Structure 1
Amino acid sequence: MSARVRVLAVTMFAAVAALFGAGVAGAHAVVTASTPADGSSVAVGPEQAVITFNEPMQPSFATLTVVGPDGNLWSKGEPTVQGPSVSVPVGELGPTGVYTIAYRVTSADGHPVSGTRTFTLTEQGSGTPGARPGGDKADAEGGDSDGLPMWPFIVAGVLVFGGGLAFALRRPSGKS
């Protein structure tokens, strides 16, 4: 075998190994800590809820909320991303019970990471809750949402589909 053929064979083998041998990275960002700690009990709520990951997070599209046992939102404002930590102001909490910290962030490699952590408030607070997560009362009751209505798009889709079906099923003219 000539040197040229061996170099070509080694190059081809290296290319195939690089394409098929190196799989997608299996490691994704994982939570390393939270404030309050997951499953902990606290007498007074924290000033902010913090989730810390094993790698930096992208600042765009981060969500972090604290929802109380009453189903209301207790976090105040937008989340802040600083390196591997995502935080949101909480303020004084209200009813005793289990509070859920829900997060959805984008890791440095572009993968979304989401999950929940919980803590229990053991002493009643006097804080004021925010709205229920997921929209206002009008949205929950099917009222006006300031969005585009869907029915014109559905009607248009049915008409286009019906016209295409009629065109496809039409019989050819009687000419032979």
Structure 2
Amino acid sequence: MPAPTRRRTAKVLAASAAAALLVALAPAAPAAAHNQLLSAVPAKNATVTKAPKAIDLVFLEEPDAGFTTVLLTDAAQQQTPLGPPTVRGTKATVAVTGQLANGVYQVAYRVVSIDGHPVQGSFRFTVADPAAPPPVAVTPSPAAPTADAGLAASASGWPTWSLVGGGAAVTALIVGTLFLTRRRSGR
């Protein structure tokens, strides 16, 4: 193979490998392949005048009932007792079995989609019942875990280790391809 053809082949392989690396590391659009939260009751950032008796989460796709987790914490990062999640179609519901005083609450959820991909997130809502006593001012300790600390992943929803591993695999593919190309050409 003449030298210009080899250089051109190497350039094409390098450009293809770089494009593959970009595709592997780019975050997927949630609606394109994976589940996502469409709505909730109480809604994200809502202020309700009565403490909810249940939390409803509506997803794009039906979540797997066996792998649906919902946590509710108050401003002091204390979990509020909830019943087990029930899934009907694309809606997951948990009963609030504990008492909710006035204040800010965080809902953290994790579901596994039909395709096996875990989806997680969180949102806050405020209870402001005019008939209830005012909320107690609480300052959480800096070391206190958040409600979704056990549900953490990268911003794209992919675990960080899978992004690093994918990048390493693509890099190994590029190096191996270049090595074989040079070896075949007799260099």
Check whether the contact 2:65–2:85 (CA below 8 A) recurs between aligned residues: no
The one-character-per-residue Cα deviations of 1:116-154 (angstroms, maximum 9, x if unpaired) are 0210011237xxxxxx999xxxxxxxxxxxxxxxxxxxx
Tell me the residue number matched to 2:8.
none
Pair 1:79 & 2:91 matched: no
- Structure 1 counterpart of 2:123, from 101, 117, 126: 117
- Structure 1 counterpart of 2:104, from 81, 98, 103: 98
Q: SS state of the match for residue 86, structure 1? A: strand
Q: C-alpha separation between the residues in 1 aligned to 2:76 and 2:70? A: 18
The structure with the greater share of residues assigned to strand is 1
Q: SS state of the match for residue 57, structure 2? A: strand
| 1:34 Cα offset (Å) | 0.2
Aligned residues with identical type, % of pairs: 33
Structure 1 unaligned runs (5+)?
1-19, 126-131, 135-176
Q: SS state of the match for residue 57, structure 1? A: coil
| 1:62 Cα offset (Å) | 1.1
Structure 2 unaligned runs (5+)?
1-19, 134-143, 147-187
Two-structure CA RMSD over aligned residues (Å): 2.8
Q: C-alpha separation between the residues in 2 aligned to 1:93 and 1:70? A: 15
Check whether the contact 2:83–2:97 (CA below 8 A) recurs between aligned residues: no
Pair 1:68 & 2:74 matched: yes
TM-score (norm 2): 0.50
| Structure with bigger gyration radius | 1
5 Å-filtered alignment, 1:110-149, equals 110-123=116-129, 124=132
| 1:32 Cα offset (Å) | 0.7
Which residue identity is paired with 2:88? Q
Q: C-alpha separation between the residues in 1 aligned to 2:104 and 2:97? A: 16
The structure with the greater share of residues assigned to helix is 2
Aligned positions, number: 107
Q: C-alpha separation between the residues in 2 aligned to 1:95 and 1:29? A: 32
| 1:67 Cα offset (Å) | 1.1
Q: C-alpha separation between the residues in 2 aligned to 1:88 and 1:133? A: 22
Which gives a bigger RCO, structure 1 or 2 (Cα 8 Å, sep 6+)? 2
Q: C-alpha separation between the residues in 1 aligned to 2:98 and 2:71? A: 14
Check whether the contact 2:82–2:98 (CA below 8 A) recurs between aligned residues: no
Pair 1:38 & 2:44 matched: yes
Q: C-alpha separation between the residues in 1 aligned to 2:48 and 2:98? A: 12
| 1:65 Cα offset (Å) | 1.5
Which residue identity is paired with 1:81? V
Check whether the contact 1:69–1:95 (CA below 8 A) recurs between aligned residues: no
Q: C-alpha separation between the residues in 2 aligned to 1:77 and 1:92? A: 9
Runs of 4+ in 1 over 4 A off after TM superposition: 23-26
